[in-house]
Amino acid sequence: MEGNVAAALALTAVAGLATTIGSLLGIFVKKPGPRFMALTLGFAGGVMILVAFVELLQGGIEAVGFGLAHVAFFVGMLGMFLIDFLIPHEYLAEHHHGDGGEKGALMRTGLLVALGLAIHNFPEGMATFAGALQDLSLGVAIAAAIALHNIPEGLAVSAPIYAATGSRRQAFFWSFLSGVAEPVGAIVAAFFLLPFLNDAVLGLMLAAVAGIMVFISLDELVPVARSFGQEHLSIAGVGLGMAVMAASLWLLR
């Protein structure tokens, strides 16, 4: 169990700090192409949706039964909805990027996006931790999907801050800080849940995590992927993500 906890925490840190890749894109490459963004965000959404229904929710059903698992699933969705409603965030820096706007407004935009992403990343850290605790290969899959969608989140933070300050260091720092919330979420989950962890508690966690991941996919990843004007490519990414995830789960059985 201790080895699994250490590996789960490490995976969560890697997933969360993928925001720094987006930060570097925002500083040096500016903006990746729409085809790339549509495909990768769709791919991440497909991975999350398939993992949520095939592995996480199913694991919850096996542990605590159909009804209780679905209650936990919808509680997870509701929790993410409330976070999103109370603290909305811009998923991508689609404006204020090189448009000559007021620097103070650009800086506020970047800092508010960083705060919103940090709060959104917290339960994602708990999701990766719970998945890895159940099965290390499942944790790797969840961490990879979250890392993919954290890249444009890092871009959303770094681009406006760099445009406002001209400082690569500040842009990188705030993007890094927003990603740190993910391993912090995992540490909190480990600290509070491990003393009480049993099959039923883990099953409820997995079902709730499934709800969180489905919400992220349907509310953020797929709509944003389609917003790049590459509708067919974004849906192809969803299908490809599901196929790759299904194949990997099949091979690991």
Please write the tens of the pLDDT for every residue from 92-121.
Answer: 434 444 444 456 655 665 666 676 667 667
For 177, the token pair is 């800080």
pLDDT tens, position by position, 12-60: 888 888 888 877 876 776 555 778 778 877 887 888 888 889 888 998 9
pLDDT tens, position by position, 148-207: 777 777 776 776 677 677 788 888 888 888 788 888 888 887 787 777 767 788 788 889
For the chain, domain boundaries:
2-252
Question: Residue 22: which residues within 8 A CB-CB, separation 6 or more?
Answer: 150, 151, 152, 153, 154, 155, 156, 157, 158, 175
Is the Cβ–Cβ distance between 171 and 24 less than 8 Å?
no
3-state helix, strand, coil in the chain (%, to 5): 85, 0, 15
Number of neighbours of residue 100 by Cβ within 10 angstroms: 8
Selection from 36, 73, 77, 40 nearest residue 219 by Cα:
77
Selection from 155, 159, 160, 145 nearest residue 221 by Cα:
145
169: region left, alpha or beta (phi > 0 left; psi from -120 to 50 alpha): alpha
Selection from 32, 249, 4, 68 nearest residue 144 by Cα:
249
Supply the pLDDT for residue 160: 63
Q: How many angstroms separate the CA atoms of 231 and 222, rounded?
A: 10
